[in-house]
């Protein structure tokens, strides 16, 4: 079993919307509604942006939204802003013998053009 | 407010052990689990395991089993991650992360990270 698959990079202009995909299997993403998304700026700790697939923690902009279809979860950033430029990781509950409780995605670098 | 402070960076030789600490404050320590996540230089996040401060239960990724021990000290609200028989590819920033009160499957509060360098 490998990390969840994300595109290596996604880019967009300020004000545009972008979507990052996170593809797993029926044993992780598809089997549970327990995908979370994290934003990480260079040299900083990750920050929780979405939990339980589509819920936002207090203080996270409503420009960030999450969804899921089958074995693929998605993070959409609307009204892209320069401060959104960062790495983004999905994480899913997996509860597998090899992966333990959770597995991360491979990460996506978002560039604001 | 919740604060999570990790111990400082470490330099270790191959074959040695390292123990990273994670001191939490601002909430009831026993109530939320703690994950350990590492990030090798220029690489992505890797979930290593989880410990329940209430009862000490743990869950480790299979690749680390036998080499890692995650514990907590409820008297000092501190979690520990010990990794033994270090190899050069264990060089990474190690983070502790506290389960979200709203959803235990996500990590809301993170430490600042501890750089562990393994080099001869």
| pLDDT tens digits, one per residue of A63-90 | 999 999 999 999 999 999 999 999 999 9
| Mutation for A interface: B37, B106, B107, B115, most A CBs within 10 A | B106
Structure confidence by residue, pLDDT tens digits, B73-84: 999 999 999 999
Whether the CB-CB separation of B58 and B38 falls below 8 Å is answered with no
* Chain A interface includes B49 (CB < 8 A): yes
| Mutation for B interface: A7, A75, A101, most B CBs within 10 A | A101
Whether the CB-CB separation of A93 and A34 falls below 8 Å is answered with yes
Contact A99 B103 (CB under 8 A): no
Contact B113 A45 (CB under 8 A): yes
Tokens matching residue B17: 């052990």
DSSP-assigned beta bridge partners for residue B69:
B82
């Amino acid at each position: 079993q490998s990390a969840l698959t994300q595109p290596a990079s996604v880019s967009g202009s300020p004000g545009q919307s972008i979507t990052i995909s996170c593809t797993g299997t029926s044993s992780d993403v598809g089997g549970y509604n327990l995908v979370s998304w994290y934003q990480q700026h260079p040299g900083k700790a990750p920050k929780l942006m979405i939990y339980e697939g589509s819920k936002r923690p207090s203080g996270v902009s409503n420009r960030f939204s999450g969804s899921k279809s089958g074995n693929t979860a998605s993070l959409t950033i609307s009204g892209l802003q320069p401060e959104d430029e960062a790495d983004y990781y999905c994480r899913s509950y997996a509860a597998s013998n090899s992966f333990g409780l959770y597995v991360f995605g491979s990460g996506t670098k978002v560039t604001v053009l | 407010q919740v604060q999570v402070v990790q111990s400082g960076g470490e330099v270790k030789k191959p074959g040695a052990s390292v123990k990273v600490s994670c001191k939490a404050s601002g909430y009831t320590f026993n109530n939320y689990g703690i994950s350990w996540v590492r990030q090798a230089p220029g690489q992505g996040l890797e979930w290593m395991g989880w410990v329940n401060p209430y009862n000490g239960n743990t869950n480790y990724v299979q690749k680390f089993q036998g080499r890692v021990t995650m514990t907590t000290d409820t008297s000092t609200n501190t979690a520990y991650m010990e990794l033994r028989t270090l190899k050069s590819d264990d060089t990474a920033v190690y983070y502790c992360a506290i389960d979200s009160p709203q959803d235990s499957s996500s990590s809301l509060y993170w430490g600042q990270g501890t750089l562990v360098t393994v080099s001869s």
